Structure formats: C-alpha cells, structure tokens
Structure 1
Amino acid sequence: MGRAEERRARQRAGRRTRGGRSTNGGRTGIRRFLTWRKLLGTFFGVVLLGMLGFVILYMVVDVPAGNAHAQQQSNVYKYRDGTILARTGEVNREIVDLAKVPEDVQRTFVAIENKSFYSDKGVDLKGTTRGVLNTLAGKGKQGGSTITQQYVKNYYLTQDQTVSRKLKELVISLKVDREKSKEDILAGYINTSYYGRSAYGIQAAAQAYYRVDAEDLDVAQGAYLAALLQAPSQYDWAAASDRGKRLVTERWNKALDNMVEKGWLEQADRRALKFPVPKEPRPAPGMSGQAGYLVEAAKRELEQQFVREGMTQSQAETLVQAGGWTFTLNIDKKKQALLEKAVKDELTSKLDPKERTVDGDVQAGAVSVDPKSGAVLAMYGGVDYVKHFTNNATRRDYQPASTFKPLIYAAALEKDAETQDGEEISAKTVYDGDSRRPVVGSDVAFAPPNEDDVDYGDVTVQKAMNKSVNSVFAQMGVDVGMDDVMRTAGLLGMDVKGLEAVPAQTLGSMGASPLEMAGVYATLDNHGKKVKPAVLKSASHKDRAVDLPDPVGGQVVERSTADAVTSVLTGVVDDGTGRAVRDPRQDVAGKTGTSDENRSAWFSGYTPDLVTSVGLFGEAAKDRKGEDGKKVARGSQTSLKGAAGGGRVSGGGFPARIWAAYTFDAMGAPSEFDLETDQGAAVSPPAEPSDSPSSEPPSAPASSASTSPEPDRETEEPASPSTEASTPPTDPETNTPPPTTSQSPDPGEGEETPDPTTSTSPSASASQSAEQPPALGAPDEG
C-alpha cells in the first residue's frame, strides 16, 4: 500500500472515531443505542400511546348507575361460637337540596377539600398520577382528589385501591364534570359522604353532631363537618384522642382561613368564630349494654387493617359502613357474661350517684385475653354504650401508673443493666428505697415521693416491686437508660411514639388503655412472644377477602426476661399490693397501679392461661364546682377519692377484686407457671437486706420534678381499726369472706406501710376490722 493510500485510510478511520464518535455523531458501544434523539422519540411514543389509550378508555367507559352503596346492607356481628351479637347498617341518610344548605356552609367543604372546585375540570391530574404510581408501588394512602373525584368514588365506584379503579375515576370524573353542574356535584358529594356516627350525608351529620337540620348549620359547624370527612372516627370529638382533637381543630382552622383567602368570609367574622364542640352522640338502637362497645371495637380493627393495606382512614370507614360484612369476634359469650357480672358485683352495685357525687364519676374498663392466641375473650367498655359513648377498655387518656414498673425491670434484664456501682440488676439487688431520694446519673433532676412519703430504707428489687416503691424504679430507669426502657415498653406492646425518655415516665405518667396493658402482660405471660390482642377473629364479604394479621408474633424479649418478670410479679400477689387476688390453688402474677391524685386505679394480672387488665377512671359526669370552688367540666379527669363511701381507691381494691371475681370463675382447672428463671418470688423470695450500705452512691442534692405525684395521705371510710388477731377478715361491703380461698384481700401496700418516721417495715397486721373496707382505703403506689 502506497503512502497516499495509507493517509486516506487513516483519514477515513479518524472520521469514524474522532472524539470517540462516529462521523454521524453517534457513540461507540451501547451509547450508539441511547442517543438523545432515540430517547426523545421513545418518550413521545409512550406519551402518544398513553394519550391514545386514554382516548379509547374515555370512549369505552360510561358513567355507570349509582353503586350498591346507595342501598347499604347490614353488618352482622357474631360471638366466637357463631351466635348473633348485633346487626347494624340501617342507612341513616336523608338527601337534601343544596339550596337548603347555607352557602357559607357549602363553601367550607370547598375550602378544605378543593379550593379550585368551581373552576377546575373535575380532576386533579397530578394527584391522580401520583395515586396511580403509588398504587403500583404498593404505597397507597393517596389524597389530593377533587370533590368531583371523591363524589364519583362514593357514588359510582368503590373504595378499592387499584389502578383500574383510579383510571375509571379519572374518566368518569371528566364526564360527570361535563354533564352535571358544579352545584349538582357538590350536592352529591355532601349527601353521599360518610361523617361518622352512622351518618351519611350532611342532614344526618347535622343531626348527629349538632341536633339541628342542615339548613340551620352555621359556618363554624359546617367547617367542623367538612374537616371531619378526612377521618370521621378519629376526629369525632366525643371519642377522639388528644392528637385527633388537635388535628381536626387544625383542619377546622384551615377551612376557615381558606375561606378568608378566597374572599368567602370576612377576616373580622373569622376571628370571632369559636370551635363548635359537638354534642354527645346518640348511639344507634340495639347497641345498648356492652354490644355497642364490642361492635365499635371490631369495626375499628377492620378499618385499621384496611389502612395498613393502603386506604385512607376515611375510605376504610366508608367501606366498612357500607355494609355486607359478617364479623366474627373472639369474644367468648360465657366469659363476657362473667366479666360483666364481676364488675356489677364488685363495683357498680356499690355505687350510689344520688348519695355521693363521686360515685357518678367512676368509669370501669376491662379486657381479658388468651395469651397463647391473642384473642380478646371478654371486654367491658362501660356501664352502657347508649349512656357512655367512650369505650373505657380502649381509651388511652389515663395513666397506667405503677403497672408500668414491670416494664422497667424487663428492660433492666434485657440489657443486663447494672446499678450505679456496677452490680447487675436482679430480684435480689438492693436499692435505697427512701422517699424523695434524688435519682443519680440523670441529666434531668427527679426525686419522686413514695406513697404516703414512706421511707423503706434498703430494699430488694423484689420487695420494691411488691410494695411499689417509686424511688427504686425511678433509679432503676436511670440505671438502665430511659431510652432503653421506652424501647422495651414499645416492644412489649405500649404505644410510646412521641414520648420523652425521661425519669418521670417510670411512674407510668403516659396514657394507656386496659386493652394495651392486657397485651403487654400477655406478652410476658407468653414467655416474651409478642401478643397484640385481637377482638376480631374474622371478617367476610361477598366482594372482598380480608387476611387479618396473626395476633401472636415473634420473640420481642428473651424468654428468661419475661419469665423472671412473671416470677417477681407473683411476689406482688403473695406478699404485696396485689394480695386481694391470691389463691393457694392457682399461680397468679400481677401488678397494681394508682395514678396521681387518684384519677385512675389499675390491676393487671395473669394466670398461665388468662390475662386480664382492669382499670377504674375518674371522669366528671357533669359540669360542677369542685371542693376548691373551681369549675369541673363534664368529661374531665377527676379524683376517685370517696367512691362507694370509702377513702382512696387503689389498684389493690376494686380493680383487683373485679379481676379475682372474674378470673377464678372464668379459668379452667388450676395451673402453674412454666418458668425458665432462677430469680423472683416464684423461685425463692430474696432475703431481707442487712444494714449494709445501699448499692446506690450517695444521694445528689435533693430535687423534685414537677411531674412527681403528690403523696396523697388519706384515711379509710369509715375506719375503726381492730388489732384482734382472732377476728377473721371479712368483706365489709358484702359481710362475706373475701373472694380468695383462705387469704384475706389485700388492702393495698398501706397495710404494711411503716410509719414514715421509721425506715423498717413491720410485719403485716394479722387482721383487720370488718368495718374497714380493704377495697377502698388502701394507699397504693403513685
């Protein structure tokens, strides 16, 4: 090859590969297939195909007739044996013309749901696209639909979270917006939406929440009803948690502020508006007694399952309320009757609201669980669903108090925690049990008082649990680390989200429900395997299958930890504040609790096969003035002091006696705990500590936290103490022997509480006057 030919060959090769590109601008290798022209062409091709597909979809999808939701079916609720508990589902709906709804009330719905309603084309393409993509990704819970889309979903379609349903919603919404006026669409929306309290449509909602017709609603009330639609049950003021009340108030404010922004409401008028607290609900007929509480609890569990599957709360409630469901509950009909009888015999029959105002303030709640299956076998929600709407078994607005102490001990065992001087924490570990002793090692000063300000001196962890010594468990919480304490509490089943990990939590100062505490103690009873109590056994519908989660999960704490806690809690029953429930034939573990200012009293306990948590709550039955002359608002928390003519109500009193009366009738043959542990009262009660120094270092300067409970010293009613050892103890309220076989009921730790001027514990009194009610006057823990 000549030089000229070689030069031409090099030039041709250079043009092909100059700069790594071919002469036509392409790249070598895979890059030649990913040119921007090809990518752009592909993109436009996909867009065109999508547009073509949408056009075809628009042509083939017609606006259907109204769905079966307009002919709502009944829901059927059954006990676990298949017998009928209740039927619900009679449609509470009355269609009203939009002209009968005040214009400013109409606009509250537009302001909070879809500000562009009067000018848009009926769809939110961005929101719908996001919903489709998230549905494909399995994320669900997508909001942002227009009022037109929500109306279409309510009236023409279903609440299903599927791509096909969302695409149909988009097409039908476009067609409905073209075929109907905005007024017709808005009327359809407010008349088909579900507002809670079994109310469909604005007329039923106006009556359910404010006892007025829709035409008589004012703008503040309308804004509440509009805000309610996002989550009717959670935002119902009568049953909402503090968080629910905060969220619905925020939405109420947002609706009104948006109206000002749109020029529909004057700023001066906006400032003058006050939140319109709804009236108490009127439960549906046939829901009296415990039936209403059980029905609502079952519905709530199914709704929660749908929310976990991706629905919004509002969609879940609408789907359940639409009817056609058969609910089978885990509730055992016989055990349910026994629990109701126990509450009546041991509590409500002794209350006389006409004689004593405080007796009208006493609310009881209880939950009984099978620890092996997680089934809720019995539930007591209150005296009557039609008289007291709030379910006391599931409410979380009262402190569990010292029923939280076993969780601190569990955290110590899980972490192999040590005291401040390096001793591993066990049932035999000795702490300084003096009242108001400042905790050591905490960044937050805390010095809680013991009940009645009693100084216990050196005391073992076992005895501190028996007597519920606040100062010991406050220090133990710091020794373990409050972050670890709260983490363990969460693993065991408590809702600790958003709670500060501070020493004050060792007193059980958070909110909890009997259902929640039953789950925690069931997890301990189940050797550390998580138990999430389930009211609902199954739910079936001809158009939908539901897979409910297994109430029993995996190991959340070591078996040795759970068994050691159980062992220690047997000491509370044998020689502590829970002695009202001891029976020599049956192994029992449990813990009492009494909250600050005697607003709640608890007993949570268990046998190997049955866990039951009982709570008493002080809730003002009506507006009145307190002893200090200050207003006590209806529904506010108040003291239980003086209930049934006694003194302070303790966890070792009414709650423990209800527990015993129910449990010993409901359980089968006596049984024993199968424990893998070498510590605790069930194995060997630790010896009393000598006068050797406490395991704690010298106390820091005294400091009392503001959250410390006040040591409320009270006397029993009426008290005439007897010291005659020959007089057998009796139940002063029934003049009968106590519920246990051969032991006297425990009056609470007050029976063994030493004089606060001493630091030693005298032995228990041999007996007690029959005139002195052991169920009432027992000072319990803080």
Structure 2
Amino acid sequence: MRVLPTGDNHNAGGAPAQPTARKRRGRRLVSLLAVFALLVGGGLVVGGYYFDSVPTPTDLKLPESTTVYYADGRTPMAKLGAENRTIVPYDQMNDSAKQAIVAAEDRSFWTNKGIDFTGVLRAAWSNVTGGQRQGASTITQQYARVAADLRGVTYSRKLREAVVAWKLDDKYSKDEILGFYLNTVPFGRGAYGIEAAAQTYFGKTVRRDAPPAQQLTKAEAMVLCAMVKQPEADPADPEGSPGYDPARNARAKQNSIDRWNYIRDGMVKLRYLTPQEAANLAYPDDVKPIDRNAGQSGLDRPTGLVVNHVLSELRRTEQFKGQTDDVIRDGGYKIVTTVDKRVQDAAEAAADIRRDTAPEAVRDQPKDWQAALVAVEPGTGRVLGYYGGNGGSSGADYAGWYYDEQGQARGFGAHPPGSSFKVYDLAAAVENKISVKQHFDSPDIKEFPASGRTKGSPAGPIRNAEHAPCQPDCALWEATVASLNVTYFELTEKLGIAKVMDMAKRAGVDSMWETVKGNPQPQRVDLRDEPVDEAAKRFSTEVGIGQYGITVQDHANGMATFAAGGKRAEAHFVRSVTKGDDKIYTEQLKQTDLGLDKEAVDQLDWTLRRVKAAKLDNDWDSAGKTGTWQAGQSTTQNVHTWMVGWTGALAAAVWLGTTDGKPLRTRGGSYEVYGSTGPGPIWRQFMTQASAALKLDPGKYRFGEPSFPDDTPTATAPAPSAPTSAAPSPTVPPTPSAEPTSPSPSPTPTRRPTPLPTLSPSLTSLPTASPTRTKGPR
C-alpha cells in the first residue's frame, strides 16, 4: 500500500470534444447537481459507513520492523521484517522532518481543515464532465487514504478520502495527524515512516533525545521528504520513471535535487528557514547506497543464531503459538534477549578461533576446527553468551538446536561429552552420601562383566587414559582430578544408570542421543518425555563416562545449576517482548531445587576446583572439568574435546571439535589435542574476560568448605593442580543433524540464589547426532 503524492494527476484519456454553448450550460447544471449530490447526499447517505472508525498508526496493519536487543534493552542485535518501520511519538521527533514534510506535501497544513475542498470539487467536476481525473490531497487526506485503505483516483475514492479526512481533522490535533502521517508514509527501500527512512538512508534518527550528530538534519529530511512523491521506481519504466531516490540512478538523483530545491523554497515561505539559511544549505551527498537486503540486519553475525533461538522460544509461548514468523518479524515488537553484549563479545573473542583474539593454542589451526561456547547465569537460566559458529542465522549451529517455522529441528549441537559428563556422576554420588574421599579400586584397566566390558567383549575392558599417583586405590576426588575411567565406570555401576541420568536431567540436560542398531544417525531422546527409569533402558553404563551426545547449551545449563548451589533454572533467551507501552511477554524466572545439601555442594566445588584446567588467575573461586572423546577405536586421536565449569556468577561450557567428523589435528600435524589444551584455554580466557566485563566482586561468590563428616582415611588433598583428562573412548563423529538446546545466562551477585520453580518449554523429540560405542572418554 502506497501513499500517492499531493496533486497526483492521472490522464484517463484524450480531451473531450467541445460542446455547444447550450449543451455546456446544461452539462454545468447537471454537474453542479452531481457535485451537490456527491458532497451532500454521499456524505449523509454513506457517511455513516465511512465515519465508523479512523485508525491510528498503531491500529493499522502496516508492516513494522521488529528489533531484537541485547539484555540492556538499548543495544540492537538484529532488525527483523520484510519491511522496516519504527513508530516514534510525535513529541519525540526533532523538527527537521516535521517542517520538510509540510513544505513538500501540504504548505497550508497548519491552517486548512484537513480537506482541499477546491481540489475535491475540481476532481468531482472533472470526473462528472468526462474531463481528466484529478486529485488534490492534503497531508490529512493522504493519511486518510492509507488509514481507510483507499486506492485509485476515482471521484468516489476522493469523496471517501475527504470524509475520513474531515473526521480526522475533527477528532485529532494537527500535531497528532502529522505524527500519524510521518509514522506511516512510505519512503522507499522498504522503509515505512520517517524513523525507518532516517536509519535506512542516512544511518540517523529523528529522535530529539539522541546526540546532535546522530539526529536527522533539515537538509537530510528534505531529501527524504522528496521521496514521498514517488517512493519506488515505476516497475513498468524503472529507467524513465525512477522516482526520487538519489542512489538509484542519475535521473533519480536529478529528480531528487529538483524536488529538494522546491522543498527548500517552501521552507523559506513557511519561515522554517531564513533566505540566508536556505542559501547556505547544501544538498547532502552522503545518502547510503541501496541495500538489497534492507529490512533485516544483524542476521549474518554469530548472534544470528541467537535470533533463531529467540524465534523458536517465542513460537512455544501462549502469545505466539500457532502464528507465523511474519507476525513476529513484521509486528513492530521490541524483543529484549538475555544475552549480555559484554559477555557475548568475550564469547566470540575466545571461541571464534579464526580471530586473532582467540587463545594462541587454538588460533590459526586447520579449517575443519570448530568451537562452540554457551554461558548461562546461575539461578536465572538466562543465556548471557552464545557462540555456535560464524554462519549467522542461516549457518550451522554447533552449540545447540532450535525449531524452525516449519517445526523442523535445526542444529549440529550434540557431541559426546567424554569425561566432562563425570560432573553429573560426581553430583549423584555426593547426593547419595558417597563422600569424595571414599576409595575405589582404580587400576589402569579393569573388566566389568555386569556391563559387558570384558576382554572378550567387542568394546573390551575399561581403560584409563591417564595415570594418578594414588593408583591402584584412589579416593573419588583423586580419580576425578585424574579423570580415571575405571573408577567412574564402577561409580556408575554402583549408582545405576538411571541415577546418573536423573542427575543430568534435573541439572539441565534435557536431551541425550542414543545409538540405535541399524540407524547410522544417533537419535535424540527427550529426557522430559518419559520417566528416567524408562529412558535409562536406552543407554548403557558408558553413559557415566560420556559416550552419549548432549548439547553445549544443556551442558552449560547443568553447570549453572551447580554454580547456583543445586538450584536449576530453565535456560532461555527472551527476557521480554513489548510493543509500544504494551507488555506482550515477560520471562518467568523459576527454579527447581535438586535437593543437594550444603555439604554435597561444597564437596562438589571442593573436588572440581582441584582440576588444573579450571584454575582462573583472577581471584575467582572456580570449578570445572575437561572431557575428550576419541575417534573410533583410536587411543590417540580425538574428535570431541570439552571444558565446562563455573564460578558463583557465571557458568560456561566449551566444545572444540571438527566440522567434518575427522580427528582434531594441529596445523603442525600433531593429534595431541585434549580438553585441557584446546577448549581449556578458550574457557579460561572467556571466564576471565567476561567476569572482568561484568565488574562483579569475586569476594561475594566464594565456595564453601566441606566438613567431610563421614571421612575415610585418605591422602591430603592438594590445591587445584593436575590437569583433567579421561581414558581412550569411543568416538562419535559430529553428525550434522537437529539437536535440542536451551537458553543462557546473565550474572547477578548471589552465590546461592533462592529456589524458584522451574520452567519447562515443551520440545518434541527428533532424530539427531548421538555417539556410537568405542573405548572411553578422557
């Protein structure tokens, strides 16, 4: 729908033959009667129909861009929508566009009654007498035409337009009408309204509270208001009738200059400019080139994946369920995400291994190397940072998965977690009163007949990838720091698969990928869809050493639960959705308490802070775990490497693998890539930089000290040191397929947030990447 310009003349045909004097007098009388009937009879008879309602810009179903913001609600992340429209209240606009549009379109606007009676009479007279169809429209009439969805230039349209304009002028002030118009009129390039036009053509704003250098100037506003006459080129003759966009071609630029001069003369006549000011005014030559992707922006950056998750999340809300994405994109909404710009910058700087800001250990490596990082705020579940790749909204997501508009799962985010999954085993152990100082048989290799891991079985016995001084008899904390698979396989047998999976599920792991015989692709199991005892039947004891794929998102959410002292919050990406003053949607922050008592939490923290890779050099108490999953039966080549962990204010999970499922191999040809040497540096850099950017006090987030009430004699625990790894294990090549995800964080100064009830967005299960059994994790 497009506003036609003032004084639009459309010739309906050739000039009629000249009638005789007597015929002219008769026709004039008939015409006068017709005009009277049109203006009086039409107004009385059908006026009620036309007068029913006069919508304001917020009532109109015109496209209006939706903007996605970072958590501060001020910094734009992306602009959505086929068309670009942003409503700015009239009193928040500076004077530049108000004056220029009046000079361009309706110089008597402030004094007329909203209708050009002469023009309407002329149009009616001309139409009735068979002359040219004519139009003369005030700004009020032009807005009425849009508001009443009137098209064409017939006399009946002009009459209806006049009636609606009459009502507008009677009901609203001139300021309100001009505001309606400026927020509605098309300016070309998909920009509806003066604010969208200012951004599209000059990268500026009409908001008077913006810094002066960012505000639209009078000269620039005159260029924009010139375009209202013909916002787009005539499709039938784009070269001959290109309109007034100076970037389109030389003819359009000359049209623009001519109209700009006309508007400048009007500005002088209306005393908006003095003659001297007008003489000093220069035509702006800094109009931005035409962007064929106008209307949407920011989707080509890593945060384009965040937008995908935002849309997926909103489709599951009551407010947007069952509606198309166009409703959101063109709805003029302000979507505030949970993603903190400071944390996101730190995530991209560390995890985008193509940048020179990434840690040296992972920089300048082969092209098939890929990292993913998700950070979640403990206690709220807000996603503070999300990096799943550089492909933008249309690229691969290696951190998680989301549902597209057709309900199809998209993403590549499920990877075998290896020994990083042992955090859940350890949490289940301390929940069940197994002290981290309890001793376990910990040889380098051990058979487990009950689980089918013997010398004669296809997978063979369980082997450790590392050695610990305590072997062959290690306390659980020692086996954790050394990441001994033998100990953790026995621990999983002791607890039972269901208890380990239940802890992972309650902490934040919503999905795991099982290996199905005869199916080359691992299949996603939604742990929320069935009792954990039933789901556990799909998995083997290898679950305890990280054979089965999970997403980086879910893993980060699990770490956030432990960071919050065992209080799980549902990970999410959306904080609020508003439209104008209307609150459409607001996040519901809820927590579920895992039931870990203080001693259990303290033992968990105490043990995992002794993992060398988790040590931060910034005075923060930190805990974490590395993980590695190997290629096939290899004991030296790794496909998936992990580092996960937390402080009291921030939790994060980092995965480093390959895009093609091949083993990680450095540019120098070495296969020596582990959780501590690859994702470890990424995690530490991110945690250090993000914590500094958030300016939180580490002293408010100290870990507690366990009392070990049921202490068993054991060696004294050293301070955090030995690097974490795990034993050679089965590798699952990263399979591009749909994988579930959850939203993330934003830190607040509370070491152990108070429990709140949990959100549970409903996700359906879908096939996705999942690991095949091999030897074991690091």
Q: TM-score, with normalisation over the residues of structure 2?
A: 0.47
Flag the structure with higher strand content: 2
Structure with higher helix content: 1
- Larger of the two Rg values belongs to structure: 2
Q: State the TM-score, normalized to the length of structure 1.
A: 0.47
